Amino acid sequence: MHLRMDEQAPKEAQYAEEGPGPGIFRAKLEDQLRRPETQQQPISQTGCWRSVRRGYVLLGALGLLAGAGVGSWLLVLYLWPAASQPISGTLQDEEMTSSCSGASSEESPLPSLPKTVSFRVNSEGFLLEVQVKVRPAWLLVCHEGWSSAVGMQICRSLGHLRLTHHNGVTLSDIKLNSSQGFAQLTPRLGSVLEEVWQPRDNCTSGRVVSLKCSECGARPLASRIVGGQSVAPGRWPWQASVALGLRHTCGGSVLAPHWVVTAAHCMHSFRLSRLSSWRVYTGLVSHSAIRPHQGAVVERIIPHPLYSAQNHDYDIALLRLQMPLNFSDTVGAVCLPTKEQDFPGGSRCWVSGWGHTDPSHTHSSATLQDTVVPLLSTQLCNSSCVYSGALTPRMLCAGYLDGRADACQGDSGGPLVCPDGDTWRLVGVVSWGRGCAEPNHPGVYAKVAEFLDWIHDTAQQVR
């Protein structure tokens, strides 16, 4: 098991994309399928061999050649598409499941219960809307019974780290259509999301809730990106470089002005280093832009308390910055997954970083690289053909079984992000893998959805 930190630190898990990647390393597929050459043995000739015997030998040799030719043609016919075309996660799962022991032994996940309530924030006036099971339409939320605690829980459920603003808006100040409905919170014990939201024809107070959550998941400059393998400024505004002094050690992802998430093994490997030596650099695409005394000073390092250095379970850590980051077009936060959000196998996600870009691990990338990697099912990745049960419920798998792209040393702690409409969500943190872009050994990531409560509780308690 290899981690994917920079060299001169324990090696970290690495990942690659559909394109040259961040330390994102791509293995080239062979241009052609290699076909075994059929070799014809020389036919011995002696005076005692008769011409008929020589004829039989010649016919046999021709038959062998013909058989080899047909075999080669069949190989090309059936194997060529697999080598020349991208393989979706679903196809990989089906093919591997039929040939790998353990691929189908994992219990099927329990079917998720239908959501009884959903939330969204209307872009016009930031009005909070709720959709309840009994009413398919989106309803404005009455201000009666509202509190900041309710707002915080709703922001968290939407993948934001915190609530930034909330107030009551008078109905006479907004434009409503005649069919607009409303909902009022009826307090009950337990989670706000499980409390009763009762449909109403109007609000007694005459006010509805306006809500703002912390900004995340947007790429202001994304529309200006044109081609190329290296990343232009602003493409991944949450990408961070976690460094000891000026030396890049791991990647990271900005969650809020004061908070960055990375891999626990990155910090564990340098746990004897002075806290004041750590810096977080954001808004960069090239490390040549780093200057002494720049970067955000790390105030606290908070690895997950259950992190295991043996199997890299719970491989996640939070960094609290001494001073808040200044958000801009090139520096911003990524959203967390929403509660119970499922990104199925085959989903096209992106990994980015400054790690090694060649299989010999001798060349780190001077500029930020990114690549596409499909999510793979845990069932497939735990099969005997891949990682033989090494993945825990706190891990997920992404990449290609043919090894065409992967993350690599120097990418550890960096983001695996997936699009959710126009919003980008942090689905994984680069953790470990066997080598870089090795066939049947895709990248393994810490599964962020398993750490939502810990992330929110930590960010709320540590000020």
Q: Which residues are catalytic?
A: 265, 315, 412
371, 23 Cβ separation under 8 angstroms:
no
Cα 31 to Cα 18, 83, 85, 237: the distances in Å are: 16, 9, 12, 36
Indicate the burial class of 35 (C-beta count within 10 angstroms; 0-12, 13-18, 19 or more).
middle
State the Cα–Cα distance between residues 122 and 99, nearest whole angstrom.
49
16, 404 Cβ separation under 8 angstroms:
yes
Going by C-alpha positions, the residue among 242, 292, 241, 299 that lies closest to residue 267 is 242
- For residue 117, list its beta bridge partners: 132
412, 393 Cβ separation under 8 angstroms:
no
State the Cα–Cα distance between residues 86 and 103, nearest whole angstrom.
21
SS3 450: helix
Which bin fits 126, alpha (ψ -120 to 50), beta or left (φ > 0)?
left
Cα 93 to Cα 24, 57, 99, 392: the distances in Å are: 24, 47, 10, 18
CB atoms within 10 A of CB 433: 32
Length of the chain: 463
Indicate the burial class of 99 (C-beta count within 10 angstroms; 0-12, 13-18, 19 or more).
exposed
Indicate the burial class of 113 (C-beta count within 10 angstroms; 0-12, 13-18, 19 or more).
exposed
